[in-house]
Amino acid sequence: MEQICSRCRALLGTETVADWCPACGGALIEREVGEELGAPAEPAEEIDHRGIVLPRRHALGGIITPQ
């Protein structure tokens, strides 16, 4: 299970223990992930000082953001 904010959709690291989102103060919800749900194998996560998982980086160095 992973924790995600219901307001800002920030994804928290697996080691982060929190009741509220450290970014916006929104409520956290849990969702299932895993190989059986079709989630791709992710490289090691980069986690900031608040415990939020940072966006993946492109092979050329930029941050991947949705369009």
pTM of the entire structure? 0.58
* 2-46 per-position pLDDT tens digit: 889 999 888 888 888 888 998 899 999 998 876 555 555 556 778
Amino acid at residue number 56:
R
DSSP state letter for 51:
S
Counting residues of the chain whose pLDDT is more than 70, the rounded percentage is: 67
The range of the structural domain enclosing residue 28 comes to 1-67
Q: Please state the domain count of the chain.
A: 1
Query: How many residues are given for the chain?
Result: 67
R_g of the chain, CA atoms, integer Å: 13
Residue 52 is predicted with a pLDDT of 83
pLDDT band at 67 (very low <50, low <70, confident <90, very high): low
* 36-57 per-position pLDDT tens digit: 555 555 567 788 888 888 877 6
DSSP state letter for 47:
B
